[in-house]
Each structure stands twice: as C-alpha cells, then as structure tokens.
Structure 1
C-alpha cells in the first residue's frame, strides 16, 4: 500500500502543477489576511517607519506584535473556570532573496512565536469548559516557544501563480476569506477556516502548496502537508512527511472579481482529505467547504458551509455560518462584524458572535467581543451561555 500511496501523492502534485501552468491574470497573492506578507503589508499601510523602509529597500520586511485575549463566561461546567486569558508574542517577516525587482520573485518567509496563558485554562480550549462545542481564538494556547512558518515562496508565470514549500500554516491558503483571522476578525472558529469541520494539521507542518489564476477571475489552490506536525518540534515534520506518510490534502476552485480582492470578493469550493493522525489523536476524515463573500461598498456579507464525513476535528459533521463585516465604522481602519452559526453536534448548537475592532493608534488595536452559545452541546442543563471577550494587539 505504501508504494501506491506515494504514487497517488505524486500524481496529485503533478496534476496540480499541470493545472497551474496556464494563467491569464495579473499578479495574485493567494495567502489569507493572516499570511505573513499580507499582514505586514496591511499593518504598514497607514504609517511611516524609516527603519522598516530602509530594510524593505534591501528586500527585507520584518514585524513584531504582541496580542492578548481575555474571555469570561456566564456559566461553566463543574470544575472548569469561568475566565481565561492568553497572550502571544510574534516575530515574522520575509526576505526577497531571488529575482528581486523582477516578475518571478522568490522569498524566504518566517514566523516564530511564544504562546502562553495567564490563567490555568487557555483561551483556545475555553469554550469546552463552558459546555460549548468549539474553539475560541485557537492560536491562543499555552504551547510556549514554537515555529509557525519557515518556507520558500516562489512567484510563477510572471507573478500569476505562487508556490510555497517548507514549514507552513495551512490556514494561510485553505478556505480563506477576509474575516478569518483570529487577530483581526472573528474569534470563534465557527466563523474562520473550515467552520469547525476541516480536520486541519498543526502549524509548522511540512509540505507544499500551489495557487494559480486559471483565467482573469478563476483560480485554483492545492496543497499537501504532514498531518503529524508538532510546532514545538517542527523539523520532525519533514521526516514525518517522507517516513510516516500521514497527510492533509486539499484542492480549491474559486472565483474572484479581481486579484486585489481575492479573499474578500470570493466564491470557492474546498475539497479536503485528512489521514489518521497519531499526534492529534484524530481519525481519518474527508469533506468539503463552500464559501461566498462579496464586498458591497463597506459591507462584506458572507455565507459559509462545511461538511466532514466523520466530524473528526470536534465531532461536528455539518456547519453553516452567515454574517457580515463592515469596514470603516467610526474610523477608516475600524471593523465591525456579526455572524451566526448552526452546527450539527448530534443536536443543534447555535453560536452568535459580534466584535468591533478599533485601531486606536497605528500601533494599537482593541477589540471588544461578545458571543452567545445557544443549546451548548456539552452542557444540556443550560439553554444558553454568554461569553464576553477583549482582544488587544500591539504592533510594530
């Protein structure tokens, strides 16, 4: 079986490359809003930094940020905390190391982090303690020092396509849309990558992904990576990729009105398949996600559906989210969002979330957030649970 499995993987990558060889669009960036180069570009848009500009002239972009999230619930399961708070320090950047100032630029991209919790419970697992079935701000765990990204990013076909290879975060390219970032968008995973259904690998997973515009408006993105990745011991993932052969695979077909709005004006279908993971104690699974988002002036309404055959991530087999983001409420860089999710947890669990990101200075963001879990799957004695949150981000 091992031989045939590797042949299938080779054919998968080959098919992806063949599809990506034809293109007609202008240069496109396939990463989501949280991808390193997109995050730096967005954060630098409204400020002048002489040191950063000097480094950028040499092909180097760097950034630091510190984020923290605090949450408190109206009720919790016996033995669980009603409050949790976690923080994260990140250093990330890119170096244009090949073909700088040309069409097919190659870059080394990195991100290292220290994730820590101020309380006994981390924010990531807080919802379970309340009786809800889901994750809040999944990056805000207690993993301490870890790697998230260390990969080569190569532009293809005069900038119309992108190849990344190395240690990556698959949420940078799988099922992305503008409000998916837990640093600047919705906190609950129900409104982020996979709508609580995709059996994702951990960060710093070794693999490769390719994206290309097939026409001016249609694109395709595909990737394969190690499902056994541990970001605290990242380099084992490269060995896992070739020895254990447990993979996460995805392929996505999509449409966008323009490359400048590829993750905000976007319709896509994501097909995914995940092998069994010993490290994550996660069963083999497969499924699909459909996402529609459309910029209408300052409004971005969205509708997102996820299906998992086994529900191996959280026990959720179907999930439907809808809502909107409104950009520029109160100030040009502020963002208001509201959404509701239905999840098939064996019963019907509903999640509501509302947030308001305020960019108080070019270097500081503050986001009040409130969530309501209706009919929490793990707490049948409660009809509803309220969760209040506050997110802060200091950036440079």
Structure 2
C-alpha cells in the first residue's frame, strides 16, 4: 500500500505555478508549486508478478507518475516548467481513483495502460467515477535498454483520450506524444519530446521540446531545455527556454537556481518576452 498526503500553500499573491499565466504567457512555470491546500495524492495498492513481468496499481493514483515519463520529469529535482515535465499537450487529470498496469513484452519492450477519473479532485476524493463515465485513458508502448534503466534509457509513444464532462465544463480531448531520452555514459541525458492533441482542454495543441541534462559531481544536475508550442484558437508561436543547476549540498539538501525565458507570450501579444528567476530548495529526511 502506498499513500501520500500533501499540504500546499502559496506565500505570495501568485503561486510559482501561475507566474507565467499572470504575466501573459500560456505556461505553467512552477509545476506542483501551487496553493491547492490539503490533498490526498496517493492511496493505492500495488500488485506485482514474482518475476517482475507485470505490475498493477488500483486506488487513488497520479497518472503523471507513469504517463509519458523520462529521467528529468520530476518538478522537485529537474525542470520546473510543464513544457519539460509531463507533455503539456496531454490533458492529464488531477489525482483520483484509477487503475494502471504495466507489462514486459520482451527483454526491452513494455506497455503501460491506465483508466482514471477525468474529473478527479484530490482535495475532495470521490469514489463516484466509473458510474459517471467521465474517464481519462492512456496507452503507452516503449523501448528501454534494460528494465533497471527504464527511467533513464527510454523511447516511447503514448496515446490518450479524455471524455467530455457531463456538465459541459470540459470538452472531449485526445492526442499522441512521442518521447526519446537516453543516459549516455551515465552523465549526459539528451531528450526530444513532441506531442499533438485535439486541443480542446490541454494546455497546448502542439508542442516540441528538446534539451540536455548533465550529472556532475556527486548528484549535481544541470539542465537546459527549449520548447516550441502553439495553442488552439490563439495565433502565434510561443518559445520557452529553461536552464537550471541543482547543487547537492548534502545527501538530504539540494538547492537549485533556475532561469526561464518565454518569448512571444501567447496570452499577451503586446509583450515580447517574460523572464523568471527562481531558487528551489529540497530537503529530504
């Protein structure tokens, strides 16, 4: 059994997650750093085959834990802009009731699928999901050099579909994403990620990201990423650059200064660019 309870609070008028939107950019600039309060983000049972051939999870799940992931996906230790986390062309739901499973197809190929509550609200967990029929579904097939390196050496294609909400608050959406990342010499991680969707509810209609991660001394990590995106019913192309360096002060303390530069903010055509500086601290007990 796995469980996680979070309590998120903002200490400024605008939480880091929404600084881009506040400045006129169609961009989530601080993924997970919001003011959502008390949340039940995980409460699920995991069942695995003895030989590791398959895994099943049932309960309160977070689909971003397994949909379109790669080695630099974590907003707590890697990039902070959503353009370099879970693909922003995917209309991923909040944490809620769902079923997810993975299976090894061969020594190098795997498949992952999920069905989850598209209307989930982790601040008010509900079991009334499958009777409503408002579901998020995903299917992924991928290749890895070995299952002990699935988060580091990974190439995959993900298909997803989100049903329309019964109350009309969300239209049907679907799309596909591709991701390729490889850990070279256990130091360099180049990546290329692209996605396209119907674009009715996802942040972007189309998106392409590319970049590089470099693991330095101890567990230091440098990252550089560039994203191009366009959104439905908004003219223009938005470009996002993020650069960071994660200093590992001790095994339990990391400090990460970062820079985000957003060119041609889609929500404010009168502004040429937005620049954000941040300092993230992570303490692990």
Displacement of 1:395 after TM fit? 1.2
Equivalence for 2:122: 231
* Counterpart contact for 1:114–1:145, Cα < 8 Å: yes
Q: 1:199 aligns with which of 71, 82, 91?
A: 91
Displacement of 1:340 after TM fit? 0.1
Residues of 2 paired with 1:145 and 1:227: CA distance? 20
Structure-2 change in CA distance of 1:389 and 1:281 (3 Å): farther
Unaligned runs of 5+ in 1: 1-107
Residues of 2 paired with 1:267 and 1:362: CA distance? 30
Displacement of 1:130 after TM fit? 1.0
Residues of 2 paired with 1:311 and 1:336: CA distance? 34
Residues of 1 paired with 2:170 and 2:164: CA distance? 6
Dislocated runs of 4+, deviation >3 Å: 277-281
Q: Following superposition of structure 1 onto structure 2, how do residues 74-113 of structure 1 map, counting pairs within 5 Å?
A: 108-113=1-6
Equivalence for 1:119: 12
Structure-2 change in CA distance of 1:280 and 1:227 (3 Å): farther
Q: Are 1:274 and 2:162 matched, yes or no?
A: yes
Displacement of 1:310 after TM fit? 2.4
Q: Are 1:334 and 2:220 matched, yes or no?
A: yes
* Counterpart contact for 1:246–1:277, Cα < 8 Å: yes
Residues of 1 paired with 2:21 and 2:165: CA distance? 21
For residues 160-190 of structure 1, the C-alpha deviation after alignment (integer angstroms, 9 at most, x for no partner) is 2110000010000100001010000100000
Q: Following superposition of structure 1 onto structure 2, how do residues 48-197 of structure 1 map, counting pairs within 5 Å?
A: 108-156=1-49, 158-194=51-87, 196-197=88-89
Equivalence for 2:143: 255
Q: Are 1:369 and 2:258 matched, yes or no?
A: yes
Q: 1:221 aligns with which of 101, 108, 112?
A: 112
For residues 298-330 of structure 1, the C-alpha deviation after alignment (integer angstroms, 9 at most, x for no partner) is 10000000111124122x210000001001x2x
Could you say what secondary structure the match of 1:243 adopts?
A: coil
Q: 1:305 aligns with which of 157, 174, 194?
A: 194
Q: Count matched residues.
A: 281
Q: Are 1:351 and 2:240 matched, yes or no?
A: yes
Structure that is richer in helix per residue? 1
Residues of 1 paired with 2:205 and 2:100: CA distance? 26
Q: Following superposition of structure 1 onto structure 2, how do residues 237-248 of structure 1 map, counting pairs within 5 Å?
A: 238-239=127-128, 241-248=129-136
Residues of 2 paired with 1:381 and 1:112: CA distance? 41
Displacement of 1:261 after TM fit? 1.1
Tell me which structure has the larger Cα radius of gyration: 1
Displacement of 1:137 after TM fit? 2.4
Could you say what secondary structure the match of 1:388 adopts?
A: strand
Q: Are 1:325 and 2:180 matched, yes or no?
A: no
Query: TM-score of the superposition, structure 2-length normalised?
Result: 0.95
Query: TM-score of the superposition, structure 1-length normalised?
Result: 0.69
Unaligned runs of 5+ in 2: none
